[in-house]
A and B are shown apart, each in its own frame.
Chain A
Amino acid sequence: MKADVLVQVLYVLAATLFILSLKGMSEVRTARWGNWAGSLGMLIAIIATLIAYQVERYDLLIGAVIVGALIGVPIALRLPMTAVPQRTAMSHAFGSLAVALVGTAKYYQLYPHIDRFTMAVLASEMILGYLTFTGSCIAFAKLQELISGKPLIYPGRNFVSLLVLGIAVLLGVALVVDPSQSALLPVMIVAALLFGFLLVIGIGGADMPTVIAILNSYAGLSAAALGFVLNNKLLIVAGTLDGSSGFILAILMCKAMNRSFTNVLFGGVGAPVAAAGAGAGETRTVVAYSPEDVAAILDGARLVMIVPGYGMAAAQAQHAVKELEDVLEARGVTVKYAIHPVAGRMPGHMNVLLAEAQVSYDKLLEMDEANLLFPECDVAIVVGANDITNPAARTKPDSPLYGMPILDVDKARTVVFIKRSLAAGFAGVENELFYLPHTMMVFGDAKKVVTEIVTALKKA
């Protein structure tokens, strides 16, 4: 009995540390402390569990931990910062599969004496866990560019997806009615796996920040559900914290795109749209400028704002951008970065890349702050961003982007837009910015162009 009390106390301690850990993330100053609090909480939770439950097969346990470490440590040490979104998707896949497997094991362990409440929680936990697993695998494949980032759209896509989900849920209900029908379980699992696959395969690359956040939320909720099954309060607390975190991030991402959850999940935005909409008929010309032209403009600037996007990550241009900042600052130019919430492939992606390049974080401005500064800005340099700068979001009610909060780069005195080609953004919409008289288009790889601007500036 004594040991029992000790274990409960340790669980409370672990839960407290998890809460403090998230509290620490409110500021950069306390964030590392928060991470250590979380790690300590985890260690305590594992030790407490090993005290409370006698695992006989320590050989298998140690083997499993070693395998986990062999997978986890090299990823953690070697992962380039540009690949953080992929690794996040992968960890959602691992986490949700672990939870789903434990749920499945629990079903067979309790079988056939399962009360209905437990079965209901188990069924929802398994559906959520397995669909998050395949969904995250597809998200990983898209982010890693193993498969195309374009959404796979076919007629009746949403109907098929929902039908599959419906089958999974119906089988879950049937299991709740009679938990001993173990033949239904594998079918339910397959349906859930298939639904996760269908759901994410239809979502485009630019919507990945939202998708990752939603999958994050699901992974957390399925862990919390497992807590209900095991009557383990620590699991409920930790899973719920993760669930709310993903939920809030997903809401922030949706707001930043002026879209709803349903629209992101079932809208299929980013599919190649048949030529229609504004400006399809007329041909407009764009003048291409050289990096030297940009250097000449930058020469007399006082405030320069850099607007990074996914293209900066794809071209690994963050270090070149930092060099540009250094050269400009050496000439007395103030340099700031304007960060749109959905720039990149996951929440906060750009901040991490710029931090990696040793950009001081007080130079990173959020959208609202940045938009106040654009009218005073001499040159705005867009590096690998597109839709998030499109003024059509403000001015063209018929544009798919209309209503989305954007960075008002067009208000800067001069806009430099570095772009690989004249292709439309992920939303498949042409950017009005290209045709503005004060926009200078520079075509080429982001890293190469920025480096050339730096070289030209050094010569000047």
Chain B
Amino acid sequence: MPAEHALTTQDIVVNLLIFVLATFLGLELIRHVSRLLHTPLMSLTNAISSVSVVAALIVLADPKNEFILWLAVIAVALAMSNVISGFMITERILLMFRRRQGGGS
């Protein structure tokens, strides 16, 4: 993998561009989420943003000392618990949203 330490100006610009595009994409996507689903939306985005487990893994792969190692280990545990419970709870909530058959308005 490329060394992360030496960020070139180009890296920074590309990352900022991704950030800006993702912001607008996010706003657009979320605007169209049904209001019914705002609670499961939150548990889902919680789980997705816990992709920070990836960052913890990257640090875990190259710890300079014990202290850094343990910070990364704790971070992996915290983020993994979010990932696991986030997707599971979202599934549980979504399973409850049922439309009664033939229940006309």
Contacts and interface: CB of A to CB of B under 8 A. Distances in A.
A87 B89 contact: yes
A53 B52 contact: no
A331 interface: no
Interface of A: 4, 7, 14, 18-19, 21-23, 25-28, 31-32, 34-35, 38-39, 41-42, 45-46, 49-50, 52-57, 60-61, 63-65, 67-69, 71-73, 75-77, 79, 81, 84, 87-88, 91-92, 94-95, 97-99, 101-102, 104-106, 108-110, 113, 115, 117-118, 212-213, 216, 219-220, 223-224, 226-249, 334, 339, 341, 346-349, 351-352, 355-356, 358, 360-364, 366
B26 A352 contact: no
Interface of B: 1-2, 4-5, 7, 11-12, 14-15, 18-19, 22-23, 25-27, 29-65, 67-69, 71-100, 103, 105
5 tightest CB-CB pairs across the interface, nearest first? A244-B26, A68-B80, A348-B38, A242-B49, A76-B88
Contacts of B41: 22, 25, 245, 249, 347-348
Nearest to B57: A49
A226 B55 CA distance: 8
12 contacts: A22-B26, A35-B91, A38-B90, A53-B61, A65-B77, A68-B83, A84-B39, A91-B86, A99-B52, A232-B4, A249-B30, A360-B99
A65 B39 contact: no
Contacts of B96: 81, 352, 355-356, 358
Contact of A98 (B75, B88, B94, B95): B75
A212 B33 CA distance: 18
Contacts of B98: 355, 358, 360-361
B63 to A, nearest CB: 7
Contacts of B79: 68, 94-95, 98
Contact of B7 (A45, A115, A349, A364): A115
Given A109-B64, A240-B22, A352-B93, A361 B36 contact: yes
A366 to B, nearest CB: 6
B59 to A, nearest CB: 5
Contacts of B22: 224, 236-237, 240-241, 244
A98 B15 CA distance: 22
A209 B25 CA distance: 23
A226 B52 contact: yes
Nearest to A228: B15
Contact of A21 (B7, B44, B58, B81): B44
A244 B87 CA distance: 19
Given A102-B75, A351-B37, 16 more contacts: A19-B25, A28-B37, A42-B87, A45-B54, A56-B61, A65-B80, A71-B85, A101-B71, A213-B42, A220-B49, A238-B48, A240-B23, A244-B30, A347-B42, A348-B40, A351-B39
Contacts of A227: 15, 55
A50 B92 CA distance: 29
B42 A352 contact: no
A72 B58 contact: no
Nearest to A23: B29
A83 to B, nearest CB: 11
B50 to A, nearest CB: 5
Contacts of A348: 35-42
Contact of A235 (B40, B45, B52, B100): B52
Given A242-B49, A355-B97, A358-B98, A234 B80 contact: no
A106 B72 CA distance: 9
Given A235-B55, A347-B39, A88 B93 contact: no
Nearest to B43: A88
